[in-house]
Amino acid sequence: MSETDEKPARVTAGVTFAARLAFEQVSHRFVSDQVTLEDVTLAAEPGEVLCLLGPSGSGKTTLLRIAAGIETQSAGRVLLNDREIAGPNVFLPPEQRSIGLVFQDFALFPHLTILDNVRFGLTALSREEAKGEAMIALSRVGLEGYAGAYPHVLSGGEQQRVALARALAPRPAVLLMDEPFSGLDSRLKDTVRAETLAILRQSRATAIVVTHDAEEAMRLGDRIALLRAGRLVQVGTAEELYLRPADLFVAGFFSELNLFDGRMANGAADTPLGRFPAPDLADGTPVTVAVRLSGFEVGEEGQGVPARIVSRRFLGVVELLELAVEGVEEHVRARIRRSQFAPGVRDISLNVRPSDVLVFERRRESA
């Protein structure tokens, strides 16, 4: 069978099947008394792009390595389409898992052609078949014209696409990507991210993408799973995590916040910026009121809470104000549309948009 006969059908056929990858109560320790992951239950649904988000050291990479079979969990199971691939009595080696990996440094071999880099993992096929599959994968990322070239002639973004082609070539059911864009400069990043998403959609692979950047997770993920210190804090769509964060940590990951301490009284929290209702919290509960920097309407003096401009920083479309407000120890920060005040204006007034206020029960550590 010639590769040209097969090519069009294969390109549109994408992967053989879209799989569900599930973690069930997965825990992990590198050192016995130190939690890397604790009781993580999470599934990437067939064809979904799931972003694993969290600060450095929160366990994202370890979870990915457990899925790939290059790390073993201390407890719990990993399932691919309801088949256990890692558990107390089962351990399927990485090469039998139908899982592809893309790392942040692309890890291309400089002395191999682009084609040979992509063909590298296709050891189960004959040389000619592997070439055909590698060419299909390269055409999926739009780089078939570079098959005979070496990696150094490609830009960072193109090298990332080769790495993606290499991971897609064996038609994995699930693709795992660890900070795949962090090696790219910020101008390239947006384009490569959009291209990658389009390729993932076309290939229909289920993908788990690790990132520590909330905006990247919002741009890429159908859903986002946020980890902190090895524990899953919240899973949901970008809207859910942004609009209804489970706690202050989640809120702070998605927005810059001004924080005020208060106490519930008559169904609302009192702050120097106003009273904010929180019907679910009992009166007397100590609370932290979080106001997004973008959550202010500003006006001339006398139209709201009085504030004095301490500094203004021009940021292009917006400007960042630092404001002194009576009753607030630290400066209040506000991100407003630029040029709303003439130079030299000092006294203004503030109104807070209720949709940009979040009230949380105050935890002991932040009390």
Ligand X SMILES: Nc1ncnc2c1ncn2[C@@H]1O[C@H](COP(=O)(O)OP(=O)(O)OP(=O)(O)O)[C@@H](O)[C@H]1O
User: In the bound complex, what is the minimum distance in angstroms from residue 48's beta carbon to ligand X?
Assistant: 20
> What is the enclosing helix (H) or strand (E) of 8?
helix 3-13
Residue 283, amino acid: D
Between the two ends of the chain, the Cα-to-Cα distance in Å is: 70
Which two structure tokens, joined as six digits, stand for 165?
Answer: 């082609």
Residue number, 53 or 137, with CB nearest to ligand X: 53
Q: Among all chains, which residue has been given the structure tokens 């005979």?
A: 148
By beta-carbon proximity to ligand X, the closer residue of 223 and 333 is 223
Least distance (Å) between residue 33 CB and ligand X: 12
What is the smallest separation between the CB atom of 54 and ligand X, expressed in angstroms? 5
Residue with Cβ nearer ligand X (54 or 170): 54
CB 172, min distance to ligand X, A? 21
Between 58 and 234, CB nearer to ligand X: 58
- CB 321, min distance to ligand X, A: 32
Residue 28 contacts residue 34 (beta carbons within 8 Å): no
Report, in Å, the least distance between residue 243 CB and ligand X.
25
Q: Which structure tokens are listed for 119?
A: 């063909």
Question: How far from 46 is each of 10, 144, 174, CA to CA, in Å?
Answer: 19, 28, 9
Q: Which residue ranges make up the site for ligand X (CB under 6 A)?
A: 30, 36, 54, 56-62, 212
Q: Which two tokens stand for residue 268?
A: 């609302």
Q: Which is nearer to ligand X, 71 or 322 (CB)?
A: 71
Residue placing its CB nearer to ligand X in the complex, 30 or 109: 30
- Rounded Cα distance between 344 and 346, Å, is 6
d(CA 276, CA 269): 5
Closest CA to 58 of 247, 226, 238: 226
Do residues 201 and 42 lie in contact, with contact meaning Cβ atoms separated by under 8 Å?
A: no
Q: Which is nearer to ligand X, 207 or 350 (CB)?
A: 207
Task: Report the C-alpha gap between 318 and 337 in whole angstroms.
Answer: 4
- Encoded amino acid at 149, one letter: A
Which of 253, 231, 233, 258 lies closest to 335 in space, CA to CA? 258
Tell the smallest beta-carbon distance from residue 35 to ligand X (Å): 9
Cα separation, 167 vs 140, whole angstroms: 12
CB of 67 to ligand X, least distance (A): 12
DSSP-assigned beta bridge partners for residue 91? 86
Minimum separation from the CB atom of position 219 to ligand X (A): 18
Pick 62 or 206: Cβ nearer ligand X: 62
Give the closest residue to 42 by CA, choosing from 311, 234, 252: 234
Closest CA to 63 of 46, 49, 45, 51: 51
Query: Are 233 and 226 within 8 A, CB to CB?
Result: yes
* Number of residues that this document lists for the chain: 367
Q: Which is nearer to ligand X, 30 or 91 (CB)?
A: 30
